[in-house]
Amino acid sequence: MAETVFLCTADEVVEGEIKQAPLPDGTNVALYRVAGTIYATADMCTHGEASLSEEGIINGKIVECTFHFGTFDVTTGEPTGMPCEIPLKTYPVTVVDGKVQIEV
């Protein structure tokens, strides 16, 4: 059964930046605001085990992992540039009363 997890306030997720937020299991998610919509993915690159929130660069809806320069579409999790081939896990985001929540 899915659990709703509060991550932060919507104001903390800024367009052009990546915000890290912890999950109850100790892992992190990366939060992005793209054209006003907030998206959440796993924080770790599926290729090089690098933190996207700490080392990634967001440009529009594409996040680049600076470890090996692979890219992902944050709206779908799909890899868009080599060497990344495995999609990022994505989480459905809801914003309720200005609070960002995901289902885990």
Q: Is the pLDDT assigned to residue 83 strictly greater than 80? A: yes
Ramachandran assignment for 101, one of left (phi > 0), alpha (psi -120 to 50 degrees), beta (any other): beta
CATH assignment at residue 72:
2.102.10.10
Q: What's residue 75's pLDDT?
A: 98
For residue 12, give the DSSP letter: G
Q: For position 63, what pLDDT does the model report?
A: 98
Which residue range is the domain that position 47 belongs to? 4-103
Domain count, the chain: 1
pTM of the model: 0.95
- Does residue 54 carry a pLDDT above 80? yes
